[in-house]
Chain A
Amino acid sequence: MTENGHFVTLAGVSKRFGNNEVLHTIDLSVDLHQVVCLIGASGSGKSTLLRCLNLLEPVDAGTIVIDGQTITNGPVDVNVLRRKIGIVFQAFNLFPHMTVLQNITLAPRKARGLTKAQADAEARELLDRIGLVDKANEFPDRLSGGQQQRVAIVRALAMEPKLMLLDEITSALDPQLVSEVLNLVRELAQTGMTMILATHEMSFAQEVADKVCFLDAGVICEEGPPQQIFTAPKEPRTREFLSRIIEAGRL
Chain B
Amino acid sequence: MGRFLHAFFSPLGLRRAVPQVWDGFQTNIKLMVVAEVLVLALALLIAIVRGLPGRSTFPLRALAIAYTDFFRGTPLILVAYVTALGLPSLQLSFVSNQSLFVYGVLSLTLVYTAYVTEVYRAGIESVHPSQRMAARSLGLNYAQTLRYVILPQAIRRVVPPLLNDFIGLQKDTAIITVVGVTEALAQAGFYSNDFFSYAGYMVAAIFFVLLTIPFARFTDNLIKQRERRERAQLA
Q: Do A and B bind each other?
A: yes
Interface residue ranges, A against B (CB under 8 Å): 54, 56, 78-80, 82-83, 85-87, 89, 91, 93-97, 106-107, 110-112, 141, 155-156, 159
Q: List 14 A-B contacts (CB under 8 A).
A: A85-B137, A93-B131, A93-B133, A95-B134, A95-B135, A97-B152, A106-B135, A106-B148, A106-B149, A107-B138, A110-B140, A111-B139, A111-B141, A112-B139
For the complex formed, measure the closest distance between the CB of B145 and the CB atoms of chain A, giving whole angstroms. 10
Contact with A along B110-149 (1 / 0, CB 8 A): 0000000000000000000011011111111100100011
For the complex formed, measure the closest distance between the CB of A159 and the CB atoms of chain B, giving whole angstroms. 6
A56 touches B133 (CB 8 A): yes
B148 touches A110 (CB 8 A): yes
Quick one: closest B residue to A82, CB to CB?
A: B139
Q: Which residues of B contact A155 (CB under 8 A)?
A: 138
For the complex formed, measure the closest distance between the CB of A54 and the CB atoms of chain B, giving whole angstroms. 6
Docked complex Cα distance between A95 and B147 (Å): 13
A79 touches B153 (CB 8 A): no
Q: A96-B153, A97-B156 are in contact. Are A159 and B139 (CB under 8 A)?
A: yes
Q: Which residues of A contact B138 (CB under 8 A)?
A: 82-83, 106-107, 111, 155-156, 159
Q: Which residues of B contact A80 (CB under 8 A)?
A: 139
Which of B137, B144, B156, B233 touches A82 (beta carbons < 8 Å)? B137
B137 touches A110 (CB 8 A): no
Q: Which residues of A contact B133 (CB under 8 A)?
A: 56, 89, 93
Docked complex Cα distance between A83 and B139 (Å): 5
Give the residue among A56, A87, A93 with the most B Cβ atoms within 10 A: A93
Q: Which residues of B contact A79 (CB under 8 A)?
A: 139-141
What is the predominant secondary structure among interface residues of chain B facing chain A?
helix
Q: Which residues of B contact A83 (CB under 8 A)?
A: 138-139
Interface residue ranges, B against A (CB under 8 Å): 130-131, 133-141, 144, 148-149, 152-153, 156, 233
List 19 other contacts, CB 8 Å, given A94-B134, A95-B134, A97-B156.
A56-B136, A56-B137, A78-B136, A79-B139, A82-B136, A82-B137, A83-B139, A89-B130, A89-B133, A89-B134, A97-B153, A106-B140, A106-B148, A110-B144, A111-B140, A111-B141, A112-B139, A155-B138, A156-B138
Q: A56-B136, A159-B138 are in contact. Are A93 and B144 (CB under 8 A)?
A: no
Count the A-B residue pairs with Cβ separation under 8 angstroms: how many? 59
For the complex formed, measure the closest distance between the CB of B155 and the CB atoms of chain A, giving whole angstroms. 10
Quick one: closest A residue to B229, CB to CB?
A: A141
For the complex formed, measure the closest distance between the CB of A151 and the CB atoms of chain B, giving whole angstroms. 12
Docked complex Cα distance between A120 and B144 (Å): 19
For the complex formed, measure the closest distance between the CB of A175 and the CB atoms of chain B, giving whole angstroms. 22
For the complex formed, measure the closest distance between the CB of B12 and the CB atoms of chain A, giving whole angstroms. 55
Quick one: closest B residue to A91, CB to CB?
A: B130
Q: Which residues of B contact A97 (CB under 8 A)?
A: 152-153, 156
For the complex formed, measure the closest distance between the CB of A196 and the CB atoms of chain B, giving whole angstroms. 14
Docked complex Cα distance between A65 and B133 (Å): 22
Q: Which residues of B contact A91 (CB under 8 A)?
A: 130
Docked complex Cα distance between A244 and B139 (Å): 39
A107 touches B139 (CB 8 A): yes
Give the residue among A95, A155, A159 with the most B Cβ atoms within 10 A: A95
Docked complex Cα distance between A141 and B235 (Å): 11
Docked complex Cα distance between A56 and B134 (Å): 10
For the complex formed, measure the closest distance between the CB of B154 and the CB atoms of chain A, giving whole angstroms. 10
Docked complex Cα distance between A159 and B138 (Å): 7
A95 touches B149 (CB 8 A): yes
Docked complex Cα distance between A111 and B137 (Å): 11
For the complex formed, measure the closest distance between the CB of A193 and the CB atoms of chain B, giving whole angstroms. 17
Q: A54-B137, A56-B137, A156-B138 are in contact. Are A95 and B130 (CB under 8 A)?
A: no
B134 touches A141 (CB 8 A): no
Docked complex Cα distance between A80 and B133 (Å): 15
Q: Which residues of B contact A89 (CB under 8 A)?
A: 130, 133-134
Docked complex Cα distance between A94 and B148 (Å): 13
For the complex formed, measure the closest distance between the CB of B201 and the CB atoms of chain A, giving whole angstroms. 46
Q: A106-B148, A110-B148, A141-B233 are in contact. Are A93 and B140 (CB under 8 A)?
A: no
B130 touches A107 (CB 8 A): no
Q: Which residues of B contact A106 (CB under 8 A)?
A: 135, 138, 140, 148-149
Q: Which residues of B contact A87 (CB under 8 A)?
A: 137
Docked complex Cα distance between A89 and B134 (Å): 8
Q: Which residues of B contact A54 (CB under 8 A)?
A: 137
Q: Which residues of B contact A156 (CB under 8 A)?
A: 138
